[in-house]
Amino acid sequence: MLKTKIAVLVSGGGTNLQSLIDAQQSGIIKSGEIALVVSSSETAYALERAKNHGIAYLAVSKKSCGSQAEFENKIQRALTENGIQLVVLAGFMSILSADFVSKWEKRIINVHPSLIPSFCGEGYYGLRVHEAALKYGVKLTGATVHFVNEIPDGGEIILQKSVPVYKNDTPETLQKRVMERAEWKILPRAAELVSRKILKEGISYGLQRK
């Protein structure tokens, strides 16, 4: 069966990557397959997850590349060489340039740990998002999967899922609940939706731009 080739870009432990791998194995993701994992850190545990599941992987460090342009060139080469059609950002801590993103219109998705447009954009990542939610006093938060464009967290929303905020929450407890109840649920579902759409259109990244 023909499947959309997916690359997952990561920076840390790879819990969202694991949710995608599990979803692929359980059949939630059936229109796509994870063909490549790219980490911005050479020590990210996400690379071990890829290795343990027989998925091709590599680390591309911005520091060793010396510039944003070279960092993105190396990632682009890896994506092209592996025939990637969909890029999933799963805890990827580097912002991609407008030039890079423009080459992958409606082909990059990202999961963000809030209900966009709340607590999103430049500077909102990791625990900072949950700290802001608690400081503001919201009773509901959640996660959003969206297409990536040149504006941080500014692309079209694909899926959202809400999660309750409790009175005794800390940023850490809220982060865990949002991951378990929202991020790990909607990221695989969104990957399947977009993979299916790419297959239906019959247009891969390479074919589209020839």
By annotation, the residues acting in catalysis are 112
Q: How long is the chain?
A: 210
Helix axes 184-201, 15-26, angle to 10 degrees: 60
Residue 142 and residue 114 in contact, taking contact as beta carbons nearer than 8 Å: yes
- DSSP character for 41? S
- DSSP character for 53? T
- Cα 33–Cα 185–Cα 138 angle in degrees, nearest 5: 145
Phi, then psi, of 135 in degrees rounded to 5:
-65, -35
User: Within 10 A of 117 (CB to CB), how many other CB atoms are there?
Assistant: 11
Residue 36 and residue 56 in contact, taking contact as beta carbons nearer than 8 Å: yes
- DSSP character for 97? P
Taking the C-alpha atoms of residue 167 and residue 165, their distance in angstroms, rounded to an integer, is: 7
